[in-house]
Structure 1
Amino acid sequence: MSVDLTGAAWDRQRWAARVSLAAAALAVLLPLAYGGLGGVLLLAAGLAGAAVTAAALWWTLTRRGPERWLSAVVTVVTPTLLVVLFAVTLGRVLLLSLALWTVAVSSGRYALRSTGRLPRRTKEHRARPVERPFLIMNPRSGGGKVERFALKEKAEGLGARVVLLDPEEHQDVTALARAAVAEGADLLGVAGGDGTQALVAAVAAEHDLPFLVISAGTRNHFAMDLGLDRTDPSTCLDALTDGVELHVDLGFAGDHPFVNNASFGAYAAVVQSPAYRDDKIGTTLELLPDLLTRQRGPHLTARVGDTTLDGPQAVLVSNNAYRTGDPAGLGRRRRLDSGRLGVLGVKVDSAAEAAALLLAPDPQGLVVLSAREAVVDADRTEIEVGVDGEALVLPTPVHCRIAPGALRVRVPRKRPGVPVEQPRLNWRRLRKLAATAGRG
C-alpha cells in the first residue's frame, strides 16, 4: 500500500531530508576543518586502517601457526589504535561528529520511511479450536528450557499430549509426528531446535494441520522471524487458547525441509566434523584455512534463474530472503510468505577481495539473489549440506525449492512481533526530497 503524503506530512518529509543532509555534511566537514591537513590525513588513515583490518581478518581465517596469531593481533590492534588516534586528535569534535552522524541517520530514515511503500505484514487467519494437540519437546534444547519453564506441565494442563525426547537415544521425530496424526492429532508442535521444527513442520504441512512453534531452542531463528517471545517460551502455548494462523512458506533441499536455510560450502563442511559439537571454535579455525583456500572441499556451482555462480566458497539458500540493507536486522527476514528463496553466494580469493567484501558498497564477492528454485551442483557425487543446522550429505545436484504458504503456523494473538525494518539510507533520494520546492 503506497503512502499518500500531503500538507504538513510532506513538509516534515522535506525538512527531515534537509536536516539529514546538513548533519551528514557537518559530521564530515567538522573534523576536517578542525584538523586541517591533519584531518585529511586522519581520514585517509581511517580508510587504510579499515582495509588493513579486513585483510588481517582474512589472513586469520586462512593461515595457521604464527601467521594466524600475528594476523589476529593486527585485526584487534589496528581498530583499537584508530579509535585512540581519532579520540586524541579530535577530542570533543569527534563526539560532536558522532552526534551529528546519529542525527543524519535518524532524520534520513524518518524521511525515507515517510515515502514509498509500507512494510507488508503477514496476514493473520482465524484459528479453529483444536482438541488433540500433539507436542514434541527436547529437554536438552536451549540449555534445558523445557524444564526451566515447565513447558510439559503447562502444555498438558491445556490438553496437549506431550512426548519428551530421550537425550540418550536417537528418536525419529518425523515418525513420531506421523504416528500422532494417524491417532487423530489435529495440531503438531515442537519445543526444540530449528532442525526438529522443520521435520515436524513438513508433516504438518503434508496433512494440512496447524503447527505450533515453541521458542525453546538455543537461537530460535524461526521463532524470531515469526515475532514470538524468545525470552519466555511458555507464552507460545497461549496460541492453543487464543491464537491466530500465519500461512508461511516452507523450503526444501532435495526432499529435506527447512524453515530457515540450507548451507553449502565452508560452513556445511565444518558442521560435518565429529569434533564440532564439543569444540565449535577450535574445529572451525582448524578447517577454515583449507576450505577457504580451496585445498579441501568441492568446487560448487549454483544456478539461480539466469545467473550461475561458479566456485563460491559458501552458498546460503534461505526460506525467504534475509535482510541486507539494515545492519540491525542482519540475520532476520522481513517476510516468510513471499514465495521465493533467498540466495547468498560468497566468493573471496585474496585479502584485497576480503577488504572489498567488507568495505565496498557493492562488492563483487557477494551475490544476493531471489528465486523460486535454486540448484547447487559440485564436482563430486555427494556434498555436505547444513539444513537448519543439521549436518547432512546429499547427492548432487541438490535442487532447492520453496512451497508457498504450505505451513499453517499457530501463534499467540498477543506477541512481541517482528521489529520494523529501518529503510536503507539512499543519499540520492534524500537529495531529491530536500530539493523539492512545493508540496506533493
Structure 2
Amino acid sequence: MSEKRSACLIFNPVAGQSDPDQDLAKIRELLEPVIDLDIRMTTLEISASQLAHEAIARGAETIIASGGDGTLSAVAAAVVGSNIPLGIISRGTANAFANALEIPTTIESACGVILGGVTRIVDAAMCNGKEPMVLLAGIGFEAETIELADRESKNRWGMLAYILSGIKQLNNMESFDVQIETEDKIINVTAAAVTVANAAPPTSILAQGPAGIIVDDGLLDITVVAPENAAGAIALSYHLLQSALRGSASERDDIGYLRAKQVKITTDPPQKVVLDGELMGNTPLSIECVPGGLTIIVPLVEKIPETEKLSGLPNLTVELKSPEE
C-alpha cells in the first residue's frame, strides 16, 4: 500500500456563516482517508500567515487553507516563491480568491479538487518591494468600497454588501489625476479608480476591463475607470459586470485597460490603496509581477487572448519610453 500524502490544513474557525465544527468534520471526512492532515487553527493571537510560515519551515509537502478571502490571501502570500502546492477550501462571504482561480466554493467540490491534485503554476506580484499580492490592488473607488463593506453588513448581505457599498460610493465619487508608469510607457490621465489585478473574480467589477484576466501570463492587468458622473458610474459598473460575466473586453470610452510586467502609480491627491481586500495605506504604489510565484491545486482552465485599450479616456497623454529607460 502506498504511503499517504501529507498536508498542513490551516483552518480559520470564524470565517463565513456556517458552523466551523461541522465544516472541519466534513473536510476531515473527505480528505483524511487519502491525506494525513496536520490541522492548525488560527486564533486572535496566531494569524494564518504565521501558521503558513511555520508549516513551510517544518517542510510541509502541501498546504491547504480554509477560511475567508483574508485567510486564503494571507496563506497564499506566505507561500509565494516556495513551490509548495496550495489547496483552497473557501468558506468566506465573497469567495473572491476561489472565484478568481475558478476553484469551486462548496466544501465537497473544493476537497474533490484537492484530492484530484492537479497543480497549476500561476503568477503572484510584489507591492512596494515587500508585500505579496495574489489577487488585486485597488486605488480610489475600490478601496473606499472595501472600507464601507463592514463585517456586520457582510454577515447579513454576503456578496451583496460589496455591491451595495459600491452603489453608496457612486454618490460621492471623486476623480483624481494619475500617472501610470509601466516598463515601456508613461500614461497621464484623470480617473475615479485604478485596479491592478493578477487574478480577479467577475464580482471585482473594477478589474474587468480586459477580456478575461490571465493568471499565468507574467503580466499584470490594469483597468482605468473614468466615469463623468454618478449616472455614468452606474452604467459603467453594470457594463463591467456584464463584460466580466461574458468574458468580453470593455468597449466604453470611460474604461481603459492595459497589461504590463510592472507598474508604478502616482496620484494627485494621494489615494487609499486596498491590497487583496485589506487597506494598506496610500499611493504612490509600485507593483511587479512575480511570474510563476504560486503553485495552486486547481481544476483545469483555458487561456484567453490579451488586449489593450486606452483611447477615449479624459485628459489622456501616453508617452512611449525608449528601451534604455
The normalised TM-score by structure 2 is 0.70
CA distance in structure 1 between the aligned counterparts of 2:42 and 2:234, rounded to whole angstroms? 46
Task: Tell me the residue number matched to 1:190.
Answer: 65
Task: Tell me the residue number matched to 2:317.
Answer: none
Work out whether 1:389 is the aligned partner of 2:270. no
Work out whether 1:215 is the aligned partner of 2:107. no
Decide which of 129, 137, 140 is 1:265's aligned counterpart. 140
CA distance in structure 2 between the aligned counterparts of 1:170 and 1:287, rounded to whole angstroms? 34
CA gap of 1:191–1:309, structure 2 versus 1, over 3 A, is: farther
CA distance in structure 1 between the aligned counterparts of 2:89 and 2:53, rounded to whole angstroms? 19
Task: Tell me the residue number matched to 1:144.
Answer: 18
CA gap of 1:162–1:151, structure 2 versus 1, over 3 A, is: farther
1:2-13 counterparts in 2 under 5 A? none
**Alignment-mate amino acid for residue 293 of structure 1:** E
1:154-233 counterparts in 2 under 5 A? 154=29, 155-156=31-32, 158-166=35-43, 169=44, 171-230=46-105, 232-233=106-107
RMSD after superposition: 3.6
SS at match of 2:109: helix
Task: Tell me the residue number matched to 1:364.
Answer: 253
CA distance in structure 1 between the aligned counterparts of 2:217 and 2:168, rounded to whole angstroms? 38
CA distance in structure 1 between the aligned counterparts of 2:227 and 2:98, rounded to whole angstroms? 32
CA distance in structure 2 between the aligned counterparts of 1:195 and 1:351, rounded to whole angstroms? 30
Task: Tell me the residue number matched to 1:123.
Answer: none
Number of residue pairs aligned between Structure 1 and Structure 2: 274
Q: How far off is 1:234 after superposition?
A: 3.0
Q: Residue 345 of structure 1 contacts residue 368 of structure 1 at CA under 8 Å; is this kept in 2? A: yes
Task: Tell me the residue number matched to 1:293.
Answer: 174
Work out whether 1:253 is the aligned partner of 2:127. yes
SS at match of 1:160: strand
Decide which of 212, 217, 224 is 1:345's aligned counterpart. 224
Q: Residue 195 of structure 1 contacts residue 387 of structure 1 at CA under 8 Å; is this kept in 2? A: no
CA gap of 1:261–1:132, structure 2 versus 1, over 3 A, is: same
CA distance in structure 1 between the aligned counterparts of 2:303 and 2:268, rounded to whole angstroms? 42
**Alignment-mate amino acid for residue 162 of structure 1:** I
SS at match of 1:206: coil
Q: Which consecutive residues of structure 1, in runs of 5 or more, have no partner in the other structure? A: 1-128, 324-328, 422-440
Q: How far off is 1:299 after superposition?
A: 4.7
Task: Tell me the residue number matched to 2:151.
Answer: 277
Task: Tell me the residue number matched to 2:265.
Answer: 376
CA distance in structure 2 between the aligned counterparts of 1:303 and 1:238, rounded to whole angstroms? 42
Which deviations, in whole Å up to 9, do the C-alpha atoms of 1:252-293 show, x marking residues without a partner? 3323223221111012023235x7333457765555433x13
Give 1 or 2 for the bigger CA radius of gyration: 1
Task: Tell me the residue number matched to 2:312.
Answer: none
Task: Tell me the residue number matched to 1:24.
Answer: none
Q: Residue 171 of structure 2 contacts residue 230 of structure 2 at CA under 8 Å; is this kept in 1? A: no
CA distance in structure 2 between the aligned counterparts of 1:338 and 1:402, rounded to whole angstroms? 10
Q: How far off is 1:338 after superposition?
A: 1.1
SS at match of 2:36: coil
CA gap of 1:247–1:130, structure 2 versus 1, over 3 A, is: farther
Task: Tell me the residue number matched to 1:9.
Answer: none
Higher helix residue share: 1
Work out whether 1:398 is the aligned partner of 2:285. yes
Q: Residue 103 of structure 2 contacts residue 110 of structure 2 at CA under 8 Å; is this kept in 1? A: yes
SS at match of 2:80: helix
The normalised TM-score by structure 1 is 0.53
CA distance in structure 1 between the aligned counterparts of 2:192 and 2:124, rounded to whole angstroms? 25
Q: Residue 214 of structure 2 contacts residue 303 of structure 2 at CA under 8 Å; is this kept in 1? A: no
Identical-residue share of aligned pairs (%):
26
Q: How far off is 1:225 after superposition?
A: 4.2
**Alignment-mate amino acid for residue 176 of structure 1:** L
Which deviations, in whole Å up to 9, do the C-alpha atoms of 1:127-181 show, x marking residues without a partner? xx87441121223333227544434533455311112223xx2532221111122
**Alignment-mate amino acid for residue 276 of structure 2:** D
**Alignment-mate amino acid for residue 137 of structure 1:** F
Higher strand residue share: 2
